[in-house]
Structure 1
Amino acid sequence: MTRLGRSAVDVSRLALGAAAIGNLFTPVTDAQAEEAVATAWASGVRYFDTAPHYGLGLSERRLGDALHSFPRDEYVISTKVGRILEPDPTGSGDDLANGFAVPATHRRRWDFSADGVRRSIEESLNRLDLDRIDIAFLHDPDDHAEQALGEAYPELARMRDEGILGAIGVGMNQAELPARFVRETDLDVVLLAGRYSLLDQRGLTELLPLAAERGVSVVIGGVFNSGLLADPKPGATFDYAAAPPELVYRALQFNAVCGQHGVPLRAAALSFPFGHPAVASVLVGARSAAEVEDAAAMLRLPVPAALWAELKDRGLLPPEVPTPDGVH
């Protein structure tokens, strides 16, 4: 377990992202969701991440239900603020336009106001059936930076002081705006998705060094870049779109080097972020027990220092990028 920043919240090295059990792209049954969470627990996962956005609240409800049989003090839940869910009586069809195979019973409304943040947390507590949330992230404030900094962050800080929240952070798919939050606020943690992987180290330009300097922890999501680094082949996805041929070729080169060292590419992708001292946990989305078991097994595998050295020698990783060097 690793402590997040200056908070009292400890997280496991592997975290379960619960977007998939909110029916991300395709439906998952209640039983499959419960089995995935139970398998994560049996694999040592003690950190679970969700959001109202995921399945219009379905992810939060399922995660809360699945964790009810486990001791509350032994796990950590993070959820997110910035999108308010409002009933839509005229809603019809599904929510697949937003990525989720659920009925379109609600609509999302961006809201980074103080009142909106507090309402969002209260509604998440109800869906999760909890009396506190361990970590609250400002979720995708890309187009709402000033309101998130001026209204949402101070309200989260008040709720942290009140004990409703254990830690606060920002979660985004870019590295530049989170760096501004680290500079201008007293965050505990940043959730960085897709921007610190074998294929994309934009997080290293400013965010990760700044976080280490300021004592802010970083949780890394998207280590497979939405699929390309899990199973590199033509037609694989990178950032939820078809990967361009040059990236497929590069991923296949990574795969070949890993194979020469007897290491699955998935294992190297999961281990890579831990080379940076700011990284506390890696967040993996899974929709089944089998996917959870695979991620846990891959992270347990030792990755030899010689593999990282060869990746640098071949120009697949920049020479200045920190690597775990055999730590697992």
Structure 2
Amino acid sequence: MTAIKTVPLGGKNSLQVTNFGLGTAPIGHTASVSDTDADATIRGAYELGVRLFDSAPLYGMGEAEIRIGRALQGIPRDSYVLSTKIGRVLNADRSAFVYDYSRDGVMRSIEGSLARLKTDRLDIVLVHDPDADVVDHEQDALDGAFPTLQDLRDQGVIKALGAGMNQWQMEQRFAEQADPDVFLLAGRYTLLEQTSLDFLERCKQKGVGIFLGGVYNSGILATGPHETAQYNYMNAPTEILAKARQIKAITDRYDVGLNVAALHFSLAHPAVTSLVVGAVKPSEVEANIAA
């Protein structure tokens, strides 16, 4: 991708973020990612110029936040931006969580994140997947989570708020009702899928920032369209494999890697502030930045 640069976040703040961020969902998996690799990945990203780190209590049941807090110790806090999420409140031993989008749930979630991240403040707090439970929590988020985050933003406790989801439709409603600064949208604006175009344009008009996650659609645009390639966290269906093969034929014609095209395509949309891309080794961060 092009060189890492600092850009305005959007919304009602003066926050600046890098156009490339480290997503830490995979770093939370302690069974497959060692502490050594996790620390090296996070520190390596910082040393390469990444200044945006996105996490959530859900990622490894708090382990991703713990690893960020450990890896960034000793680095000036004002030199990077932390984004985390609310909506799933972990119990005391981090063995389970409950969905909670109430004011109390927001405050308890933030308190836990601050402790795990070893910091005294959060920059960005996102409402996490209010559509993920068997019960839809959209109204709970509008009645509880968003007003609480707005109060915290007004008090200067956090700098920005929004939502992080895999769907744009609910985020579009939040854009009109919840006074957000930024949305994290995963998997809905990629080489394989552009269903969110109208939503992105609306956010651009409103000055709301966009972080894009899932730019590889959970794997297929990074690994290529082989038979066991992953798409949206499952084996890619036949029609997606066929579409990915058509795209790869074009990128091959121009001697461009499919993963490289995927990153550049997603970042090129004028509404997009940053790409938030996961990695579990320093070499993966280096490869993404060099793409």
Instruction: Settle same-fold status: TM greater than 0.5.
Output: yes
The aligned counterpart of 1:168 is 161
CA–CA distance in structure 1, aligned partners of residues 37 and 196 of structure 2: 34
Aligned residue in 2 for 1:57: 62
TM-superposed deviation, 1:54: 0.6
User: How far apart are the structure 2 equivalents of 1:53 and 1:168?
Assistant: 18
Q: Who is 1:197 aligned against?
A: 190
1:69-104 Cα offsets, whole Å, 9 max, x none, are 32211101100000000136xxxxxxxxxxxxxxxx
Q: Specify the alignment match of 1:44 in structure 2.
A: 49
User: Which TM-score applies when normalising by structure 2?
Assistant: 0.93
Aligned residue in 1 for 2:237: 244
- Report the Cα distance in structure 1 between the residues aligned to 2:26 and 2:74, rounded to whole angstroms: 21
- For residue 42 of structure 1, report the CA deviation from its aligned partner: 2.0
The C-alpha deviation readout for 1:138-186, integer Å capped at 9, x for no partner, is 0001120001011110000111122221110100000100000001121
Matched letter for residue 252 of structure 2: G
What one-letter code is carried by the residue in structure 2 that aligns with 1:68? Q
Instruction: Give deviations 1:227-270, integer Å, cap 9, x for gaps.
Output: 01011211100001000122112112211211211211111101
Instruction: Please give the root-mean-square deviation of Cα atoms over the aligned residues, in Å.
Output: 1.2
1:125-144 map, 5 Å: 125-142=114-131, 143-144=136-137
Q: Which has the larger radius of gyration?
A: 1
Among 35, 48, 53, the residue aligned to 1:30: 35
Listed one character per residue, the Cα deviations across residues 99-120 of structure 1 (whole Å, up to 9, x for unaligned) are: xxxxxx5211000001110111
Residue 219 of structure 2 aligns with which residue? 227
What does residue 301 of structure 1 align with? none
- Residue number in structure 2 paired with 1:289: 282
Identity of aligned residues (%): 46
Indicate if the aligned counterparts of 1:171 and 1:192 stay in contact, CA closer than 8 A.
yes
Asked if 1:10 is matched to 2:2, the reply is: no
- Distance in 2 separating the partners of 1:246 and 1:286: 27
Residue identity matched to 2:128: H
Match of 1:310 in 2: none
Q: Give the secondary-structure state (helix, strand or coil) at the position aligned to 1:283.
A: strand
Q: Which amino acid aligns with 2:16?
A: D
Task: Tell me, in whole angstroms, the C-alpha distance in 1 between the residues paired with 2:271 and 2:285.
Answer: 24
| Displacement of 1:276 | 2.0
1:76 to 77, 81, 90: 81
Aligned to 1:178: 171
Which deviates the most, 237-246 or 6-15? 6-15
User: Which of 106, 110, 123 is the aligned partner of 2:112?
Assistant: 123
User: Is the contact between residue 114 and residue 155 of structure 1 (CA under 8 Å) also seen in structure 2?
Assistant: yes
Runs of 4+ deviating beyond 6 Å = none
For residues 1-23 of structure 1, give each alpha carbon's deviation from its aligned partner in whole angstroms, at most 9, with x where no partner exists. Answer: 11111322211111100111110
Q: What is the match of residue 21 of structure 1?
A: 27
Task: Report the secondary structure of 1:253's partner residue.
Answer: helix
Unaligned regions of 5+ residues in structure 2, if any? 1-5
- Normalised by the size of structure 1, how large is the TM-score? 0.83
Provide the rounded CA distance (Å) in 1 between the counterparts of 2:267 and 2:59: 27
**Deviation of the 1:275 alpha carbon:** 2.7
CA contact (8 A) 1:131 1:164 kept: no
**Separation of aligned partners in 2, 1:76 and 1:42:** 14
Is 1:207 paired with 2:192? no
In structure 2, distance between residues paired with 1:276 and 1:207: 12
